[in-house]
Structure 1
């Protein structure tokens, strides 16, 4: 939880009046470390709370993905991701969303015989 800007400013005003950080922390209910951090931020001119920037999920251009898969049907997921500049798991989810199957048939059987074939 972030403290309000008013409370931060009040703590800095009390510091300027000569109160100690311990006294201010008891009065306002904020930790001494928070007050020290606010003081440092105020010197830099950044008193407001710093929140991490939210970013949306990466969207793959569906048409570009479909075109690449059509031209390169045997490409591995890592190759597709590199070609369209995305991460592998993003490509995986996009392929599922577009209902494009990536299963590949084995080119040879285990022992070289068909299932129903009998050996003489």
Structure 2
């Protein structure tokens, strides 16, 4: 789950400071009572409500992958994840799983598609679905 924005955290604290009832804050922001308690505790201990770092050690393989993977992706844009892993091992001598390779490629913003996906705007969506105001609700050949 993604962390709430710092702006929202600050608005929650402002609502608490202004004296709004906790139940009203919970309904207004869609958060739990424990989230409010956690924000207040963090505010009193540190003086801010910034996001805390994700626990655990950093990845050992991602930094080298990030440094050299762009050239490999540009040279071989259409190969499979398995083939990317083989190429990486041949060039760098480090074995990488397909899962790790896929995560690294996604973190760098690359997709398997040739161009980035962009959601259609409302007009195009209606044209695709056949929702024009001049057309009837059922096509003539469906009856």
Same fold at TM > 0.5: no
Higher relative CO (Cα under 8 Å, sequence separation at least 6) belongs to 1
Please classify the TM superposition score into its range, dividing by the shorter chain length: 0.3 to 0.5
More helix by percentage = 2
Larger radius of gyration: 1
